[in-house]
């Protein structure tokens, strides 16, 4: 992220801080402004991504950190989550068969599915310094003041 309008926060890797991460991103999105639906989608994907970093990348450890940076650039809202936990390879996880998922009444495992559906881009990588990164980008609607679909903000 190399844009002048970047906001960042560093949190302890505790599940108690997932709400802080979600609220941090939501407040920036509301100020842009983005529609209530866009804000809701961003809250959901940040919640999923940070929870996955803590539960899987850090195996539940709460003594590490998760960094979240948000950048606004040319109609794009980009979130970069950086951590020192284990790497995740999305290619090693097949796409979710939603019909089977519902039929079998599974719990969990929809994080990547939701991220792919709600965002325009999702990329997992390892930075030059060895830290893991999740880059998520959502294109803003051209008219954020247009009526949305009534999803909560």
How does pLDDT run along the chain (153 residues), one tens digit per residue? Answer: 444 578 999 999 999 999 999 999 999 999 988 999 999 999 999 999 999 999 999 999 999 999 999 999 878 999 999 999 999 887 666 676 656 555 665 555 667 778 888 999 999 999 999 999 999 999 987 555 555 555 554
The model's pLDDT over 100-122, given as tens digits with 9 standing for 90+, comes to 555 665 555 667 778 888 999 99
The model's pLDDT over 70-80, given as tens digits with 9 standing for 90+, comes to 999 878 999 99
Distance CA 68, CA 59 (A): 19
Pairing type for strands 65-73 and 132-139 reads: unpaired
Share of the chain above pLDDT 90, in %: 63
Read off the pTM: 0.82
| Strand positions, DSSP E, 13-86 | 65-73, 76-83
């Amino acid at each position: 992220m190399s844009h002048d309008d970047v906001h960042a926060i560093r949190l302890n890797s505790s599940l108690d801080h997932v709400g802080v991460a979600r609220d941090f991103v939501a407040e920036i999105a509301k100020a842009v402004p983005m529609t209530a639906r866009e804000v809701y989608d961003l809250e959901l994907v940040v919640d999923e991504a940070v929870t996955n970093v803590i539960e899987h990348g850090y195996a539940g450890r709460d003594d590490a950190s998760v960094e979240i940076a948000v950048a606004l650039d040319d109609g794009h809202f980009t979130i970069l989550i950086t951590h020192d936990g284990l790497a995740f390879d999305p290619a090693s996880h097949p796409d979710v068969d939603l019909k089977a998922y519902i039929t079998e009444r599974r719990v969990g495992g929809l994080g990547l599915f939701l991220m792919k559906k709600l965002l325009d881009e999702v990329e997992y990588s390892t930075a030059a310094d060895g830290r893991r990164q999740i880059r998520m980008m959502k294109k803003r609607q051209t008219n954020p003041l247009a009526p949305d679909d009534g999803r909560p903000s």
